[in-house]
C-alpha cells in the first residue's frame, strides 16, 4: 500500500475529467491511501503573489494556506499522480502555478553545505501522469510534450533516486478507462 497524492487539474465540467475519477478509483481499489487535490474546483490561484515571490528564497516561504497544505501533503506521500488536459502541448496554467508555488526550496529541493542543489522529495518513489490531448501522440512528441518533460523528467530529479514513472496519454474525448486501470494496477 502506498500513500498517493493526486493533483487533478481538470475542470469538473470537462468531459475528460472522468480520467482523473478513474485513476483515483483504481488506486483506491488497489488498496492505496489516496488524497486528491482538485485545483480548479478549489480555485487554486494561478499566479504567485508578491508576498510569495518575496518569500521564495526565505526559510518561511510557504505563505498561503493552499500552498502549505500541498507542501505538507508532498512530504507525507510515497507517490504523486498528475491528471490534466494537455493544453498547447504542455500542462494547463493552473497546474504550472501549482508546480511553481508548491515545489519551493526546502520542499522540492534543498541546498547542501557547498550550495549544490539536492533532492528534497526523496520520499516520492513513484510519479505518474494521466493526460488527455486534442493532438495526436506523434504531434505531441514532436512539439516536445512539455507536461511529460516537466513532470516525469525534471520533477523526478527532486524525488527518490529510484523513482519509477508512469505516463498514460489519451486523445481528448476518448478516455480509455481500461488503459488507466491496467497501467495503475501495477502501482
**62-107, pLDDT tens digit by residue?**
889 999 999 999 999 999 999 999 987 778 999 999 999 999 999 9
CA dihedral angle for residue 176, residue 177, residue 183, residue 187, rounded to 10 degrees: 150
Q: What is the pLDDT of residue 137?
A: 67
**C-alpha of 89 from chain center:** 16
Given a cut of 70, whether residue 146 has pLDDT beyond it is no
Q: What is the pLDDT of residue 23?
A: 98
153-180: buried (b, 16+ CB within 10 Å) or exposed (e) per residue? eebbebbbeebeebebbbebeebbeeeb
Task: Give the span between the Cα atoms of 96 and 90, in whole angstroms.
Answer: 9
**CA distances to 5, 11, 93, 98 from 88, in Å:** 25, 16, 10, 18
Right CATH number for 3-184 from 3.20.20.70, 3.30.70.270, 3.30.420.40, 3.40.50.360? 3.40.50.360
Q: What is the mean pLDDT of residues 27-56?
A: 94
Q: Do you know the residue count of the chain?
A: 187
Please write the tens of the pLDDT for every residue from 103-125: 999 999 998 899 899 999 999 99
Q: Domain ranges in the chain?
A: 3-184
Q: What is the CA radius of gyration of the chain?
A: 16
Given a cut of 80, whether residue 50 has pLDDT beyond it is yes
3-state secondary structure of 173: coil
The overall average pLDDT reported for the chain is 91
Amino acid at each position: 500500500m502506498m500513500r498517493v497524492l493526486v493533483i487533478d487539474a481538470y475542470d469538473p465540467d470537462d468531459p475528460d475529467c472522468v480520467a482523473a475519477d478513474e485513476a483515483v478509483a483504481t488506486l483506491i481499489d488497489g488498496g492505496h491511501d489516496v488524497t486528491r487535490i482538485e485545483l480548479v474546483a478549489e480555485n487554486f490561484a494561478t499566479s504567485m503573489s508578491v508576498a510569495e515571490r518575496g518569500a521564495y528564497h526565505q526559510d518561511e516561504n510557504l505563505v498561503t494556506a493552499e500552498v502549505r497544505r500541498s507542501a505538507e501533503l508532498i512530504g507525507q506521500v510515497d507517490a504523486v499522480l498528475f491528471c490534466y488536459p494537455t493544453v498547447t502541448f504542455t500542462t494547463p496554467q493552473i497546474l504550472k502555478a501549482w508546480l511553481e508555488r508548491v515545489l519551493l526550496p526546502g520542499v522540492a529541493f534543498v541546498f547542501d553545505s557547498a550550495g549544490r542543489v539536492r533532492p528534497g522529495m526523496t520520499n516520492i518513489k513513484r510519479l505518474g501522469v494521466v493526460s488527455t490531448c486534442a493532438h495526436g501522440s506523434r504531434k505531441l512528441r514532436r512539439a516536445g510534450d512539455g507536461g511529460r518533460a516537466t513532470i516525469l523528467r525534471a520533477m523526478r530529479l527532486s524525488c527518490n533516486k529510484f523513482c519509477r514513472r508512469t505516463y498514460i496519454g489519451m486523445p481528448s474525448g476518448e478516455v480509455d478507462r481500461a488503459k488507466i486501470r491496467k497501467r495503475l494496477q501495477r502501482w
